Chain A
Amino acid sequence: GQNIDQPTEMTATEGAIVQINCTYQTSGFNGLFWYQQHAGEAPTFLSYNVLDGLEEKGRFSSFLSRSKGYSYLLLKELQMKDSASYLCAVRDRGYSTLTFGKGTMLLVSP
């Protein structure tokens, strides 16, 4: 099975940098996804990591350490619109399905 942990809530200030952590314990691992979900909306894809290291995409970066079962999502130059829930998800051994964490609610204040 899969066990995925993320902080429940985080707060940050506009223009700042925030790091959202995700730890996982899985029976098999074939990649880790980060999704963003605004209140009342569907999740949308942010990033994917399957190898160790940092993937950068504009203001967002995601890091993976497979040996530690650890990932983080780094958001730079925070904007008010970044206030959302951020979901960490692990792809299982068979590739077909994702297991999601409970999500981290990020509140960006002026």
Chain B
Amino acid sequence: NAGVTQTPKFRILKIGQSMTLQCTQDMNHNYMYWYRQDPGMGLKLIYYSVGAGITDKGEVPNGYNVSRSTTEDFPLRLELAAPSQTSVYFCASSRTRLAGDEQFFGPGTRLTVL
């Protein structure tokens, strides 16, 4: 199993550009998450999904959109990139939401908006 994969690894955007961060998991997990991590800060939840076709906002959803058309894929869309969106983005998945089920993280996408 490849686990959770993310593309691209690095990206530089200009202000106002748009892009999609890709996330795929091959563990047949129902739950998927998008986090951002700024220097010296913990992980902040952007959006999450409890299954195909179901998404919900996390703590910091503004400026982002998601979709979940399949169990495997959970792309994150930035429509109008702003410098405040410069961050490292992590996608994660978990099998269930039962007690003790850990989240598995992808390697991250480092995004810079100039």
Contacts and interface: CB of A to CB of B under 8 A. Distances in A.
Interface stretch (A64-72, A75-83, A99-107): A99-107
B105 interface: yes
Contacts, number: 56
B102 A100 contact: no
A96 B59 CA distance: 13
Find the residue from B35, B45, B50, B102 having the highest chain A CB count within 10 A: B102
Interface of chain A: mostly helix, strand, loop or mixed:
loop
A102 B50 CA distance: 25
A43 B99 CA distance: 19
B107 A102 contact: no
Interface residues of A, number: 25
Interface of A: 4, 8, 30-31, 33, 41-45, 48, 50, 87, 89, 91, 94-103
Interface in B19-76: 31, 33, 35, 40-45, 48, 50, 56, 58-59
A98 B41 contact: no
Interface string B91-112: 0000001111011111110000
Closest 10 CB pairs of A and B: A100-B42, A42-B105, A45-B102, A95-B97, A100-B43, A102-B42, A48-B100, A96-B97, A43-B105, A101-B42
